[in-house]
Structure 1
């Protein structure tokens, strides 16, 4: 089934901006819900309203598409296309006012990502990509990332804040911090698109969900970021990204730290 990917990208960007505006408008009146998987897995009524806004519009445009969405508004489909939506990646940053967050929308054809949008509402930045068409920031092409050596590199770190993952993340940070230029903890989608924009030289994400990384990964790949995990393919368990000149050095360090059980 043919699909106008540019039109899909444009709609996703429009919806991400609308959801981001809703988040800014309702930030002072948000209401928290019960934690989900663990005490640090928080959700607000704004997460849910943002997801509903996106899902309703996507379903109206392509009613046969499947939808996988973090807050439970998913649908089965029959078209072979599926949307992967994180309406608010970085909820804890959002509710605590301590850091950035984003709206993430990706479109898959089967198992292949074809369209991606990550919107950061406060900065008004919309990162996007169409499979094979390069990566963009607010409509302008992103240049290939230059990168750095590890001792000078700024490395992003993202992880789910459950006890087991925090323990693994602690091992990675303990190994990386002394040998890298510095590290930053950022939500997974922004970790990836900041690599695409050259703001981070590399990064890693531990124990994510597909909606956390689907959009950011396509944008990073289209910008020239090298992606992998324990092997050549990245997974939700481990995603490593880096500019090409940093890739071997960073990937080796991260894999050693993640696999170290001492």
Structure 2
């Protein structure tokens, strides 16, 4: 899908990204010299030509999504020349971490490009739905992952589990949440994330969480965690409790109720004295714990092979955060839920409040 609607110096007045910019868009037509790729805002944005020599024999069909680089824009003719982006060339040969980053950024480009447009909604459960952006972003991500790792299984938020094994017990499983924060997005709120993670055996080994609107992608190779911005420079993530901001997920399900209730935690006087609450309603907040922008994140639910939480958990663990279940047990065991904190002191304080809640009003 196309880059976002034209804003500022990254686009010309016609909405075409300037030369050097990377865009993800659909193939709209096969022509004798190559393929046309839409590089401007949907649905009638301008198209660029990607020549056959750039494709190097790669089979492409109308509707396929490609990540391309704008090489030349000739407004007089008009004509836009494209090159296949380096990420598209190297995803198959690259590391798992590089693939996670590439896939998350490709999904983020779709989410960004469709933002603000009228979108079809597809009801899932009461109060929950997917949009056309969820489905398109997931398709782009899964196409990249399947092309690069055809022997791996994949679980997508919208399409479920596919590939070898197809079940949660498979050895290598990619976990994809193409748009975490769908309700935010549908309300034209930009607090969302695109999450891609790999579980190999029992461990989350690599992950990427892309913010479509800041241009940042938080990623880990399982050893360290970084943030990469538009300039391509990686900065190592450093957790910090200094903000005192704790993000609490108030969205269902609540499998540990009535023993644990997130709303009751917010009413605890000890919590109010020590922390300040934020509710992003997206697991972008988990990446922010790893990055030092939140002191902690608390949620109910089952995090095992969970497409919403996997990338954020991997980021927090690699950054050195303290990550456990609601009662201090290792993640993915026990009662479930999740407490991810920047340091041990913050984590201990939250566990105490969760395990020994004060009566309302105290």
Shorter-chain TM-score bucket reads 0.7 to 0.9
Aligned partner (choices 226, 250, 262) of residue 136 of structure 1: 226
Distance across 2 between alignment mates of 1:19 and 1:161: 25
Distance across 2 between alignment mates of 1:5 and 1:203: 35
Name the CA shift for 1:220/1:26 in 2 (closer, same or farther; >3 Å). same
- 2:247 is matched with 156
What is the Cα deviation at residue 170 of structure 1? 1.5
Aligned partner (choices 34, 37, 55) of residue 122 of structure 2: 34
Aligned partner (choices 221, 224, 231) of residue 317 of structure 2: 221
Name the CA shift for 1:8/1:30 in 2 (closer, same or farther; >3 Å). farther
Distance across 2 between alignment mates of 1:31 and 1:247: 40
The structure whose Rg is larger is 2
Name the CA shift for 1:64/1:164 in 2 (closer, same or farther; >3 Å). closer
Query: Does structure 2 retain, via aligned residues, the 8 Å contact 1:188–1:205?
Result: no
RMSD: 2.8
Distance across 1 between alignment mates of 2:219 and 2:97: 7
Distance across 2 between alignment mates of 1:18 and 1:130: 18
Aligned partner (choices 92, 108, 111) of residue 20 of structure 1: 108
Name the CA shift for 1:251/1:8 in 2 (closer, same or farther; >3 Å). same
Distance across 1 between alignment mates of 2:271 and 2:198: 35
What is the Cα deviation at residue 135 of structure 1? 0.4
What is the Cα deviation at residue 246 of structure 1? 1.5
Bigger shift: residues 109-118 or 187-196: 187-196
Q: TM-score, normalised by structure 1?
A: 0.85
Report how many aligned residue pairs link the two structures. Answer: 252
What is the Cα deviation at residue 5 of structure 1? 11
- 2:26 is matched with none
Aligned partner (choices 73, 83, 91) of residue 182 of structure 2: 91
Higher share in helix: 1
Query: Does structure 2 retain, via aligned residues, the 8 Å contact 1:160–1:208?
Result: no
Query: Does structure 2 retain, via aligned residues, the 8 Å contact 1:88–1:102?
Result: yes
Distance across 2 between alignment mates of 1:159 and 1:66: 31
Distance across 1 between alignment mates of 2:183 and 2:339: 23
For the pair 1:251 / 2:344, whether they are aligned, the reply is no
- 5+ unaligned residues in a row in structure 1: which ranges? none
Distance across 2 between alignment mates of 1:59 and 1:130: 19
SS for the counterpart of 1:248 is helix
Distance across 2 between alignment mates of 1:163 and 1:130: 31
Distance across 2 between alignment mates of 1:223 and 1:57: 26
**Segments of 4+ in structure 1 off by > 6 A?**
163-167
Distance across 1 between alignment mates of 2:255 and 2:340: 22
Name the CA shift for 1:130/1:5 in 2 (closer, same or farther; >3 Å). farther
Query: Does structure 1 retain, via aligned residues, the 8 Å contact 2:207–2:220?
Result: yes
Aligned partner (choices 52, 56, 67) of residue 154 of structure 2: 67
What is the Cα deviation at residue 257 of structure 1? 4.2
Name the CA shift for 1:154/1:6 in 2 (closer, same or farther; >3 Å). farther
Query: Does structure 2 retain, via aligned residues, the 8 Å contact 1:159–1:207?
Result: no
Name the CA shift for 1:97/1:177 in 2 (closer, same or farther; >3 Å). farther
Distance across 1 between alignment mates of 2:281 and 2:94: 26
SS for the counterpart of 1:48 is helix
Distance across 2 between alignment mates of 1:161 and 1:155: 18
SS for the counterpart of 1:42 is strand
- CA deviations on 1:141-200 (whole Å, 9 max, x unpaired) are 43432324xxx7211112424688898222122126522331111245212110111111
Higher relative CO (Cα under 8 Å, sequence separation at least 6) belongs to: 1
